[in-house]
Chains A and B, each alone.
Chain A
């Protein structure tokens, strides 16, 4: 019961973006996908959505993700982008209701009562029900991202992919989002989240996968793999780990960029 990737390679116009990546994301856990810009995090997520041709295998609970029907995949897997904007005059509720599209018939005029229920519950869970009637475009970045998460939850996914969802959020909104993901993981959802903030990753992720230049650089629990050597090799920074007296994960302190190190 988990996400398994074996020997994944992706090329874009002849250039390798991902090379022979193998990894797993256990179910009911939050797996953090780390690596500097250009390491291939977004490409890996896109390959799982079947958006680009890829070699290798990606399976979830035995389903071959890139090759299953689009609708069936959308009923199992939901995706949240780094940021999403729209010029349509959509309310929060309209946006969350988009999550039911994979379950609707083409000629269905409006959400069924069951769908309406699922939409309402998703809004409750993501804490956006109180402004369900507001226009999406008028919300703050953090609120918009929670609405997108509510939309993803309305898909009732067993696998949730998120591509740097916290990049544009303030600290409170980041913590709210990850707390919510923790709750979903505890309920059995497999969460794979691309993150830039290593301290956030260390605090919230159960499992980490680190990519560097399209290859797997490390994988394991945060204390196992987050160390100065990895930070130097993958991110090109000199860093220290300061232990937390309250028993939490150590805090990473970045001292300097290492000159000439390629990332």
Chain B
């Protein structure tokens, strides 16, 4: 049953990707999409479509669709891991301030002229925000879910203010607008390089996270219970939180601070497959990919020719879900 639902979700992901590539101002059929892909993979000697249409598929839409899949998968995985390891149903890289930290790191590197190292800056930023959150949690003598969120608000506010100041200080005109749109969360202008970066970081982090699914189950009753089941709690915690900081940092470098994906997706998937992380993690990863793909497709097609930052859509969906989660878990928050 689990295997079936996973394969079904995988098929849905592929189908969604092909359909999403056909959607947009220029009408392109699924057949054309396949032939362009096969052509570029060297299986079709001559492209059967015009060069313009070929470029729309291969240079614009396909990289963007793949980037959306990767970013969604990464953010959903991050959220699932954070919820398990902090035992906080409200945990999400965006709500805990990691995304804002990553944005600050990315903008800092960008304005220092280190555009190529921007992902590194974003990773350092999200790691810094995570470290700050953990230090504050220790000072508070343990982080309840609401304390963690309040800490996240504080870190977000601080990082956002610093980011805004940096932009105010150094950016002008076009770059100003571009940075603002990216800050709100947008996959517009995604390139093959972005898709490759997202894929690379997923290939690095996802196996590590998926291999620890059962260990995450052991956290259901807290650290001591996990330790008594043979889990090396400190090591697992630092490894997996490090992986989520890396995933969040890179995804923010690619798509800006796209919020709530790490909250909405794991909770929805939990309702379908339950809390066991051996099932939850792979399902959440695919569901996150599909969710991101369709919200981004909506972002670029709904108000064509203008483009909505996808972060606006995920927040429109995410904020009410946040409230629902809050109501459901009101006893502990």
Q: What B residues does A88 contact at CB under 8 A?
A: 220, 275
Interface string of A96-110 (1 = CB under 8 A from B): 001101101011111
Is the CB of A134 closer than 8 A to any CB of chain B? no
Is the CB of A242 closer than 8 A to any CB of chain B? no
Are A87 and B228 in contact, CB atoms less than 8 angstroms apart? no
Q: Is the interface of A mostly helix, strand, loop or mixed?
A: loop
Q: What A residues does B87 contact at CB under 8 A?
A: 86-87
Is the CB of A51 closer than 8 A to any CB of chain B? yes
Distance of A111 from chain B, by nearest CB (Å): 10
Of B227, B231, B329, which contacts A87 at CB under 8 A?
A: B329
Are B229 and A99 in contact, CB atoms less than 8 angstroms apart? yes
Are B275 and A101 in contact, CB atoms less than 8 angstroms apart? no
Are B211 and A106 in contact, CB atoms less than 8 angstroms apart? yes
Q: Which of A75, A78, A87, A89 has the most CB of B within 10 A?
A: A87
Known contacts A81-B221, A101-B217; is A49 also within 8 Å of B229 by CB? no
| B331, closest chain A residue (CB) | A87
Known contacts A89-B274, A89-B275, A106-B214; is A101 also within 8 Å of B228 by CB? no
A-B contact count (CB 8 A): 74
Distance of B6 from chain A, by nearest CB (Å): 10
Is the CB of A262 closer than 8 A to any CB of chain B? no
Are A73 and B221 in contact, CB atoms less than 8 angstroms apart? no
Known contacts A49-B224, A94-B275, A109-B278; is A101 also within 8 Å of B89 by CB? no
The count of residues in chain A whose C-beta lies closer than 8 Å to any C-beta of chain B is 34
Known contacts A101-B214, A106-B212; is A87 also within 8 Å of B89 by CB? yes
Is the CB of A74 closer than 8 A to any CB of chain B? yes
Complex-state Cα separation, A71 to B236, whole angstroms: 14
Distance of A28 from chain B, by nearest CB (Å): 22
Of B212, B224, B227, B276, which contacts A70 at CB under 8 A?
A: B227
Are B220 and A70 in contact, CB atoms less than 8 angstroms apart? no
Complex-state Cα separation, A107 to B275, whole angstroms: 17
Complex-state Cα separation, A85 to B332, whole angstroms: 11
Q: What B residues does A94 contact at CB under 8 A?
A: 274-276
Of A74, A85, A109, which contacts B229 at CB under 8 A?
A: A74
Are B230 and A71 in contact, CB atoms less than 8 angstroms apart? yes
Q: Which of A73, A101, A155 has the most CB of B within 10 A?
A: A101
Distance of A20 from chain B, by nearest CB (Å): 25
Distance of A44 from chain B, by nearest CB (Å): 14
Q: What A residues does B286 contact at CB under 8 A?
A: none
Is the CB of B53 closer than 8 A to any CB of chain A? no
Is the CB of A253 closer than 8 A to any CB of chain B? no
| B333, closest chain A residue (CB) | A87
Complex-state Cα separation, A46 to B223, whole angstroms: 12
| A103, closest chain B residue (CB) | B230
Is the CB of B178 closer than 8 A to any CB of chain A? no
Of A51, A72, A84, A99, which contacts B227 at CB under 8 A?
A: A51
Q: Nearest 5 CB-CB pairs, A to B?
A: A74-B230, A79-B228, A102-B230, A88-B275, A71-B230
**Which A residues fall within an 8 A CB radius of B?**
46, 49-51, 70-75, 77-79, 81, 84-90, 94-95, 98-99, 101-102, 104, 106-110, 155
